[in-house]
Structure 1
């Protein structure tokens, strides 16, 4: 997903080295990292840069597509889709800075990302949320995701295993 995507209020663009500082700062907020599986509370800028540096290759291999969520010129979150193997469904993930919560931005960004993936021929999607994050559950329900199960997922942010609702959705064109 190298092209930029525009929503009503957001620009979804590729992440780059210049985003390492803002991303690192935003994910160090416990309200953010506690709801993520793969972000540690003490993530450094160097770790963020290392993650960013792998994104071009992952996108070219069609294994991961990550975008900065930009509102009025400011990075307010990250959204992406990744998969474990070629042909497997993409898993949708996202996080948003607390200052941007409650405005429908994640739903708006995810609708655009899902539409882009559907136009490419993707037919099924996965996602999920920790049981103590009902706001994320509401976003996923608005997007048409249905609860598919319950699991335990290790959260780097919490340093422990957390109850997780597994969600799934078929593409609109499936």
Structure 2
């Protein structure tokens, strides 16, 4: 059900098993896994393949839409939308290779994903960011997400509880 999405600088395409090694390599940078609650340190290719496989069925059920962010033919990150049931809003998540930070790519990619979901009739979205990752919060603010509350979450990559700001957007 997922399709390719294009922007001025990027191609967003469904994540595939052939992406597993590249994704595992990128998320094993502590600058990535320490800023995303659900990515463990030392994620293996096998774990990455399991994550990809788990999302494949969700595409057809309209509950999981992970997209590879491709710039000039190279996978540089992932932006995704997932939910446990079709009656819930999509949770937006993302990460980007640190060598591509500061170029507006994540805002561009995630804006395109949210736009694609809106075209499909989706109107509610949630997301959030870790307290010590304000750049991620700025991405969400640019996309009209508003702060909802602050909680503690367990960050797999750090192995500890960390502050997290929940955000939401209703169109």
After TM superposition, the score normalised by the length of structure 2 is: 0.98
Aligned-partner Cα distance in 1 for 2:17–2:113: 22
Counterpart of 1:155 in structure 2 is 155
Aligned-partner Cα distance in 1 for 2:152–2:22: 30
Counterpart of 2:107 in structure 1 is 107
Counterpart of 2:17 in structure 1 is 17
* Cα offsets for 1:23-78 (capped at 9, x unmatched): 00000000000011111111100110111112220111111100000000000000
Cα deviation, residue 84, structure 1: 2.3
SS at structure 1 position matched to 2:21: helix
Counterpart of 2:96 in structure 1 is 96
Counterpart of 1:41 in structure 2 is 41
After TM superposition, the score normalised by the length of structure 1 is: 0.96
Counterpart of 1:127 in structure 2 is 127
- Total equivalences in the alignment: 171
Aligned-partner Cα distance in 2 for 1:163–1:84: 23
Counterpart of 2:57 in structure 1 is 57
* Cα offsets for 1:105-150 (capped at 9, x unmatched): 0000111111111111111110000010000011000000010000
Counterpart of 1:168 in structure 2 is 168
* Cα offsets for 1:88-116 (capped at 9, x unmatched): 00010000000100000000011111111
Aligned-partner Cα distance in 1 for 2:56–2:23: 17
* Cα offsets for 1:5-24 (capped at 9, x unmatched): 00110100011111011000
Cα deviation, residue 86, structure 1: 2.2
Matched ranges for 1:65-104 at <5 A? 65-104=65-104
* Cα offsets for 1:138-163 (capped at 9, x unmatched): 10000000100001111101101110
> Aligned Cα RMSD in Å?
0.8
